[in-house]
Amino acid sequence: MAIDPVCKMEVDEKTAKFKSEYHGKNYYFCAPGCKKKFEDNPEKFIDKEEKRQPPTHGYC
């Protein structure tokens, strides 16, 4: 299960009707309003911990 980054609801990735890609990562939403809020300002909703992690390139 994914977590809607806007409202923090659990969303099943397999059946989610609303999704968006940002910086190569898929985000799933419970409703079109949450998707729109995210797309208007994704940086506001991305987890601070997620922002700090460097991209992985298959190196240890």
Residue 49 tokens, joined:
């911990």
**Mean pLDDT to the nearest integer, 40-44:** 94
Q: What percent of the chain has pLDDT over 70?
A: 78
Residue 27 sits at φ, ψ, to 5 deg, of -125, 140
CB 39 within 8 A of CB 20: yes
Between 51 and 11, the more confident residue is 11
Residue 10, pLDDT above cutoff 80: yes
At residue 33, the pLDDT reads 96
Calpha distance 11→36 (Å, rounded): 16
**Mean pLDDT to the nearest integer, 42-56:** 68
